[in-house]
Amino acid sequence: MASEVETAGLHHDATLRDVAREWTRIGCIGFGGPPAHVVLLEELCVQRRRWLSADEFEDAIASTNLLPGPGSTQLAIFCAWRVAGIRGALIGGAGFILPGLVVILGLAVLFLANAPPRWVRGAGAGAGAAVAAVALRAGSDLLRPGWRRVTGAGRARWIAYALTGLVAAAVVGTWLVLLLLACGFVELTWRRTRRARPNLHAWPLLPLALAGAGGLGALAWVALKVGALSYGGGFVIIPLMQADAVDTYGWMTSAQFLNAVALGQVTPGPVVHTVAVVGYAAAGIGGALLATVVAFAPSFSFVLIGADRFDRLRSNASVRGFLDGAGPAAIGAIIGSAIPLARALEQPWQLALLAAAIVALFALRRGVVLTLVAAGIAGAALALAGASLPPG
């Protein structure tokens, strides 16, 4: 909790107009994924407007990190809730999400057109070639802080969960979410010393029914997995979606999926916007909007229903135990997602761009957006020079 000195001069109440303007601004300039979003929210809420203290903001980060789904989106919604209540959360969340959604849908129409210009196909193939390197960077950035949080015998289990996630992302595709959940429950069972067996409910059968229904039901299930069942940040959704969108339902080719992931990285706002491109490929604009609503609805629900209980959630041993199993598995899955992403590359020059992206991200420490844009420009130039392109 913040001390009286820390909270002196704070003004928790913001007008809805303030929230609409400021959260939309962040939604428009929030390039670079969750790290950039956290910096922008902290600069707004703590430093510039003093709506929250530093301790309150850190507590908000810790609380939203316990939730499945897109963490920076939940942080944006939670901060808006703290300063302007339920209506603020709805307006702030929409302002954070909608600018990037509009941009990515416009790009999806261009990149997924039946006959896009050759340079567009080249740009997509170039940026897509670098996506596997971005996955490696995202996973490696999470490895060290995750490893530091465990000690003693817990490290052996941490390694086992991470390896499980890595292998699962590479080989099981659409069933990855079940293994992430299983790792969480294994760790929870390991730690549990008292408590009766959890009750079994019938509601898990509903998502299975949606998945088996095909069409929009299948699309809704894919989006629900992205929004409610993914742990570890935006990139853990990639192997979940790739298996469904490319292999199971055939909504996209491998090349188009790589384009979708690259678009999600270079547009502002949440990385989860990638699901809108998948929805567009499956069922046009209506499918994109359906996927977006289903994917982001859990984030709003978690905050609106449970925000005032987040302090208790953070101190709950069962929640902590589950996340200590699912978390390292998710990190392993993010790293493992690089394998199917790299295998989807079809042209030798794409492999060369992947190698260059690895050098840029790891050796030169260049930013993700800059690396993807550079790879896209290189791909467009190669296409205009007559290089072979992957089938679109």
- On the question of pLDDT at 229 being above 90, the answer is no
Provide the pLDDT for residue 86.
94
Q: What is the mean pLDDT of the chain?
A: 85
* pLDDT above 50 (res 204): no
Give the list of residues 6+ apart from residue 143 with CB closer than 8 angstroms, or none: 331, 335
Instruction: Specify the pLDDT at position 199.
Output: 46
Say what the pLDDT of residue 359 is.
Answer: 97
Q: Is the pLDDT of residue 127 over 80?
A: yes
Beta carbons within 8 Å of 285's beta carbon, 6+ residues apart: 105
Alpha helices by DSSP H, 15-64: 16-29, 34-42, 54-64
Rounded CA gap, 294 and 284, in Å? 16
Rounded distance, CA 165 to CA 163, Å?
5
pLDDT higher than 80, residue 214: no
pLDDT at 194: 47
Query: Are 138 and 307 a contacting pair, CB within 8 Å?
Result: no
Specify the pLDDT at position 202: 40
Burial of residue 9 (CB within 10 Å: 0-12, 13-18, 19+) is exposed
Tens of pLDDT, residues 251-277: 999 989 999 999 988 889 888 899 999
CA 215 to mean position of chain CA atoms: 24
Task: Judge whether 71 and 2 are in contact, CB under 8 Å.
Answer: no
Whole-angstrom distance, CA of residue 183 vs CA of residue 160? 9
Mean pLDDT for 198-217 is: 52
Residue 203: the pLDDT is 40
Question: For the residues 139-158, what does the mean pLDDT come to?
Answer: 85
- Whose CA is closest to 361, among 372, 345, 349? 372
- Residues 120-125 have a mean pLDDT of 91
What mean pLDDT do residues 166-183 have?
82
Q: Where are the domains of the chain?
A: 4-98, 99-384
Q: Residue 239 has what pLDDT?
A: 80
pLDDT for 307 beyond 80: yes
Lowest mean pLDDT among 43-52, 66-75, 120-129: 66-75
Confidence of residue 12 (pLDDT cuts 50, 70, 90): low
Do residues 253 and 246 touch, judged by C-beta distance below 8 A? yes
Per-residue pLDDT for 324 more than 50? yes
Token code pair at residue 370: 């800059």
Stretch 173-188: mean pLDDT: 82
pLDDT of residue 195: 52
Q: What is the DSSP letter of 247?
A: I
- Separation of alpha carbons 31 and 28, rounded Å: 8
Residues 269-306 have pLDDT tens digits of 888 899 999 999 999 999 999 999 999 999 999 999 98
CA dist 278 and 276 (Å) reads: 5
Tell me how long the chain is.
392
CB-based contacts of 136: which residues, under 8 Å, 6+ apart? 335, 338, 358, 361, 362
Higher-pLDDT residue of 316 and 133 is: 133
CB atoms within 10 A of CB 93: 25
CA distances from 191 to 20, 35, 160, 284 (A): 44, 31, 16, 46
Beta carbons of 129 and 353 less than 8 angstroms apart: yes
- pLDDT of residue 74 exceeding 90, the answer is yes
- Residue 197 scores a pLDDT above 60: no
* pLDDT at residue 1, rounded to an integer: 43
Tell me the mean pLDDT in the region 144-163: 87
Top mean pLDDT of 219-233, 253-267, 352-366 is at: 352-366
pLDDT band at 387 (very low <50, low <70, confident <90, very high): very high
Terminal Cα distance for the chain, rounded = 54
Q: Are 169 and 333 in contact (CB under 8 A)?
A: yes
Q: Is the pTM of this model over 0.85?
A: no
